[in-house]
Amino acid sequence: MKKTIGILIFLIGLIVIMNMPALAEDAMTGTAGTAVAGAAPPATPPPKAVTQEALDAVKSSLQVGIDTTWVLFTAFLVFFMNLGFAMVESGLCRAKNTVNILTKNFIVFAISSAAFWVIGWGLMFGNGNSFAGLEGLFFVSGADNSPAIGDTYKGVYTAINWTGVPLWAKFFFQLVFAGTAATIVSGAVAERIKFHSFVIFSFLLVGILYPITGHWIWGGGFLASLGMFDFAGSTVVHSVGGWAALAGVILLGSRIGKYRKDGSINPIFGHSMSMATLGGIVLWFGWFGFNPGSTMGVGDGSAIAHIAVTTNTAAAMAILSSTATSWFLQKKPDLSMIINGSLAGLVAITAPCAFVSVGSAAIIGLIAGVLVVLAVMMFDRIRIDDPVGALSVHLVNGIWGTLAVGLFAVDKITGTATGNGLFYGGGFKLLGAQATGVAAVGAFTFIASLIVWYVIKQVAGLRVSREEEITGLDLGEHGAKAYPDFQGFLTK
């Protein structure tokens, strides 16, 4: 009791002593205030004339501020998509592999952050040749005077000088996109890949492969010169992730028990449809950062509003068409197909979102929904085992979305001079550029990924052992089960 009182007195004393200077200040200003009030008031100078330069400076700094807020906010939404991917993937895979899938999704953004910072950004946006960036390669340290834009820009990241935000805002925004490409791979290779193999591959994907193809399209490389347009990354992000995943899945092989010897397919059920659904909605939400954010500027608001609506419309229509297709083909609407449908629509509208009308977005979404259901079935037919449908969503619809630009684009509909697509009187020029892009990125990414996966397979191993795959990767790779409690009292 005495001890408590003693401590209390000590603390109170301490608080009083610490506030002494403040108390003293108040006392002093009190006297000072009265002193000033006694003197005569000084004459006030006339207000300065407001010049045009002053107005421009204020407008400019406000513009940079609001654009940076936009870029960062949308980047945070895209970052949030990592959560969505983790939920969709773990929900659609078996409980015994949950810890492994969650770990892959959690670490992949850390890997992307490191790889893109060290070299990815430089390769993608540094000044260089048509193939890759060569200047300002490492640690985003090249000369740069962002947020200066256009002709006033002086630095080595000229390809992205059209957006008036600070360099780190540009970097962070592009980083979350690179992270999205890496996390696409984790779904397709789930339930049988060794953890360290995935980690190694992700470093190389985000550090080297993704930036190179990204340079071709967004970094001022040869595809940009050809007139290929990919607004938010159907090719740059989604099909790159898809091709890398396809290469991995081919070398990895299918899960044990997935395809029976007699040719029939064994459905391996996901363990948590709640998780998968919540993840799907989180991804849909995040896409409102992915697409509208790619303007990297607020402008007068009309572009970002247009893009938000094309994005949502495509998703909604894809959900309706994938539900209908799955209902027709499977006799009952399949939730996992519906979720895949929403993602397919979103991937498909990612390239065209700023270049097409809302009506075209609806059509693009409708087709995407049908494509994804057919693709899931097709991949199973040719015995390519994709537990979460990553290939059907990202690869197939990444290609569709890119080509859709060539079909549906309307010149300058939100400001960009893309030329008109095939259905709007532009002939085959734009479609040709889009197809070239799809083919070039596809060939490079697929072959390069195949080589990287193959080297990893020889050096570090690719697939877990048969026993480990059957017991579950949670125990094998991480020594911990995801749901130990559901087994009852396993330990003391």
Query: What residues contact residue 127 under an 8 Å CB cut-off, 6+ apart?
Result: 133, 134, 135, 136, 156, 157, 158, 159, 220
Q: Are 244 and 205 in contact (CB under 8 A)?
A: yes
Q: How far is the CB of 335 from other proteins (least distance, A)?
A: 24
Q: Are 321 and 367 in contact (CB under 8 A)?
A: yes
Q: How far is the CB of 194 from other proteins (least distance, A)?
A: 18
Q: How far is the CB of 408 from other proteins (least distance, A)?
A: 48
Q: How far apart are the first and last CA of the chain?
A: 40
Nearer to other proteins, 31 or 487 (CB): 487
> Quick one: which of 202, 281, 243 has its CA closest to 394?
243
d(CA 176, CA 64) in angstroms, rounded, equals 21
Q: How far is the CB of 249 from other proteins (least distance, A)?
A: 22
> Quick one: which of 488, 98, 475, 470 has its CA closest to 275?
98
Nearer to other proteins, 30 or 257 (CB): 257
- Kindly state the tokens that stand for 9: 């007195």
Q: How far is the CB of 466 from other proteins (least distance, A)?
A: 10
Nearer to other proteins, 53 or 467 (CB): 467
HSE toward the beta carbon, residue 94, CA cutoff 13 A: 16
Nearer to other proteins, 138 or 483 (CB): 483
| Residue 333: count of CB within 10 angstroms of its CB | 14
Nearer to other proteins, 47 or 479 (CB): 479
Q: How far is the CB of 272 from other proteins (least distance, A)?
A: 17
Nearer to other proteins, 427 or 484 (CB): 484
Nearer to other proteins, 153 or 259 (CB): 259
Nearer to other proteins, 46 or 479 (CB): 479
One-letter amino acid identity for 283? L
Q: How far is the CB of 211 from other proteins (least distance, A)?
A: 36
Buried b (16+ CB within 10 A) or exposed e, 243-274: bbbbbbbebbebbeebbeeeeeeeebebbbee
Q: How far is the CB of 476 from other proteins (least distance, A)?
A: 10
Q: How far is the CB of 471 from other proteins (least distance, A)?
A: 8
Q: What is the 3-state secondary structure (H, E, C) of 162-206?
A: CCCCCHHHHHHHHHHHHHHHHHHHHHHCCCCECHHHHHHHHHHHH
The binding site for other proteins (CB under 8 A) comprises: 257, 470-471, 475, 478-481, 484, 487-488, 490-491
d(CA 250, CA 241) in angstroms, rounded, equals 14
Nearer to other proteins, 259 or 423 (CB): 259
Query: What residues contact residue 140 under an 8 Å CB cut-off, 6+ apart?
Result: 117, 121, 122, 167, 168, 171
